[in-house]
Structure 1
Amino acid sequence: MSEGFEIVFPAIRGIQAGREYYVSMCPLRLLPRLFVFNEEEILPEMRAQRQLNRSRIPEMARYITENPNDYVFSAITVSVDGQVEFERLSSDEETGRIGMLHIPMDSRFVINDGQHRRAAIEIALRERPELSDETISVVFFLDIGLERCQQMFADLNRYAIRPSKSLGVLYDHRDETALLAKGLVLKSKIFRDVVEVEKTTLSPRSRRLFTLSAIYNATNELISGVDLEEPQEAAELAVKFWEEVAQHMKEWELVRNGQITAGEVRQDFINSHGVVLQALARVGNTLVRKHPNDWQKKLKKLSDIDWKRSNAALWEGRALLGGRVSKAQQNIILTANAIKQKLGIELSPEEQRVEDAFNRGEHAAA
């Protein structure tokens, strides 16, 4: 039925590895019609891409619908199985790279990279049809068989590395908690010059004591569920809380005064690691909600806690597993439980269940 009919894209022709490829723009409304996925029931070795992770798609769609004026999506990469023709607009060597790409309608398109973007756009257009005339760039490769398509998928993803969580927070200007964490690092004297803003892990020789991602996670825990009407209130609370905590962390002060290195603190103590920061924030969240007028006083006993990594009797199984720091959610809760018990703060029903399970396991091991 499609014989003699074709789809025409304005395109720029390029050469990669001796093969022609084409770059064009496609209206968002045409993506679901033109570019389809391999059927999911086909065996992995017969497909040219991974199966969709459907849990990712709603979040990606919300990203578009909630930011219609400044969302950004990179190009979709597509293989075309068909008799493609490129009509140059000029015989000149340079301008001849621009032309019209003619693709027969019975051609088959396979997305090598971008299937989740395509699915998210399809969902987003149902909520915001006004975006249908906006465009996304598409890179067309000529399909030379399943093996080549599979190799393209492998090559496109071979060096794809997600940016660190800290760098993502640093460059995020939409997330209120990211803005709060960055403002905290700038405004609070305890974090100034001791926070690594690009990396999520710190090397033994790093001069930084904390990571931005750890401060982000902890501050998010601190303000969760707290009745705050304005962002400024959250910022003020965060600064007050962490400065109060810092008064009872002599190791932090020693680093700021240059009396001990950040690497030595991280090696011998656990109180600058993300699991403890988040546990402290969890304790703070309870105090701020239940003791809004005198929560600062409740933190004084932090000075009495032995934060040494060698204090296995307290921290093993909580902040540490086999002597190594663990940031799993259960370890955060168990670490917060230990801090609460030291401060004389009652555990929540959820925390008590985790604590009881921990104690049963400890006794069984003994």
Structure 2
Amino acid sequence: MSTATGETADPTPSAGEIYGGAFEYTFPAVRGVQAQRDFYVTMFPLRLVPRLFLFDEEELQPTLRAQRNLNKARIPEIARYMLDNPDGYVFSALTASVDAKVRFDPLGTGGPGARVGLLAIPMSARFVINDGQHRRAAIEQALRENPDMGDESIPIVLFLDIGLERCQQMFTDLNRYAIRPSRSLTILYDQRENGARIVKSVVKTSPLWTDLIESERNNLSARSRKLFTLSALHTATKALLDGINDLSVDEASRIARSYWTVVGETIPEWKLVHEKKVSAGDIRRDFLHSHGIALHALGKVGNVLVRETRDSRKWKRSLASLSTLDWSRTNSRLWEGRAMVGGRVSKSGNSVTLTTNVIKKLLNLPLSSEEERIEESYDRGRA
């Protein structure tokens, strides 16, 4: 990049300069506009990346972060790639937010000169990585072994930070078309999609569901203390509210919260997990009601009840019979071929429907024509 005097600008920021009584970093930068907001493209020396760009502390709860946890197994591999290819490694730009008031001094007053200039950022500013946290950690590790690489640079796309929710939405949008994070984490950080907002409201406002839901992963390990993933509850809640279009997000959240609270009261094992009297792994091992297929089926049953009435007292009376249903996985006479195939829980669409049919019959709810067709096919297969 050339300065106004025609000399080549050093990408290293000048530090310690005083503007208006405050110490600031000064970077050569290009200003752009996205979504009617200014952003800046600049370069940072690698040695400054670990010092300036912070990563959200992984000890924080997922709801308080704007990033996923670091996969520490990836970091040595990326660092080794840099060290083994000093003449050929390539890194794409890091994307970050800065939480300070910045000043941009253009080199010219019009045309391209108005977009190129110097970006002044207070030294007290906090930088947070939105995309590229593994590259940042790998750079830090590589520099420990080869400090000479610190004079090299990496492009930076810098946004002005406007709060945690915006950062979380940026995380979702930046990863929407890349290698995607887990669906649960995408839902957790999505501030835009109504279904995500509704299911997060259910979890946030219910102590029971807060304890039962895993917010980051799509799969639960045998030792997990959670019963369901956020993505499973999202799918079930979508089925619960399917086709009910006259609701605001707040109204839909209230209905979903009321329904899932009533369902939770009919299944004592969920409450035992919430109270930490039994382990979640034992319950998942022994009962079908603690798998996503059952949650989805309960959502479809709830859709019928919600369409009939939005009175939770009536739902409670209607769902009372659920407490008599034998959800044990050992009850193969009922569940094999429906929710299980060969003793393993099935996630197929037909299995969801056949599980829904069991619950509907128990509650004396009519089957739809498609449900009747699948039920008849199931009966023929057992004949």
Scaled by the length of structure 2, the TM-score of the pair is 0.54
Aligned in 2, Cα 1:23/1:349: closer, same or farther, shift over 3 Å? Answer: same
Q: What corresponds to 2:349 in structure 1?
A: 329
Q: What corresponds to 2:317 in structure 1?
A: 297
Aligned in 2, Cα 1:162/1:22: closer, same or farther, shift over 3 Å? Answer: closer
State the distance in 1 between where 2:203 and 2:42 align: 47
Does the aligned pair in 2 maintain the 1:165–1:200 contact within 8 Å?
Answer: yes
Q: What corresponds to 1:270 in structure 2?
A: 288
SS at structure 2 position matched to 1:336: helix
Q: Provide the identity percentage.
A: 42
Given candidates 256, 259, 269, the residue that maps to 1:251 is 269
Q: What corresponds to 2:15 in structure 1?
A: none
State the distance in 1 between where 2:225 and 2:329 align: 19
State the distance in 2 between where 1:194 and 1:11 align: 44
Q: What corresponds to 2:60 in structure 1?
A: none
Aligned in 2, Cα 1:18/1:347: closer, same or farther, shift over 3 Å? Answer: same
Given candidates 299, 320, 333, the residue that maps to 1:313 is 333
- After superposition, residues 81-230 of structure 1 pair within 5 angstroms as 162-230=180-248
State the distance in 2 between where 1:24 and 1:225 align: 43
Scaled by the length of structure 1, the TM-score of the pair is 0.57
Deviation at 1:308, TM superposition (A): 0.5
Aligned in 2, Cα 1:230/1:19: closer, same or farther, shift over 3 Å? Answer: same
Given candidates 347, 353, 356, the residue that maps to 2:373 is 353
Does the aligned pair in 1 maintain the 2:264–2:271 contact within 8 Å?
Answer: yes
Deviation at 1:335, TM superposition (A): 0.6
State the distance in 2 between where 1:207 and 1:23 align: 38
Aligned residues: 229
Does the aligned pair in 2 maintain the 1:11–1:23 contact within 8 Å?
Answer: no
State the distance in 1 between where 2:336 and 2:246 align: 36
Q: What corresponds to 2:56 in structure 1?
A: none
Deviation at 1:244, TM superposition (A): 0.6
Alignment root-mean-square deviation, CA = 3.0
Deviation at 1:290, TM superposition (A): 2.7
- Which consecutive residues of structure 2, in runs of 5 or more, have no partner in the other structure? 1-40, 47-80, 94-129, 133-148, 155-177
Q: What corresponds to 1:362 in structure 2?
A: 382
Deviation at 1:322, TM superposition (A): 1.1
Aligned in 2, Cα 1:97/1:275: closer, same or farther, shift over 3 Å? Answer: closer
State the distance in 2 between where 1:97 and 1:176 align: 41
State the distance in 1 between where 2:152 and 2:185 align: 41
Does the aligned pair in 1 maintain the 2:259–2:315 contact within 8 Å?
Answer: no
SS at structure 1 position matched to 2:334: helix
Deviation at 1:264, TM superposition (A): 0.8
State the distance in 1 between where 2:152 and 2:268 align: 69
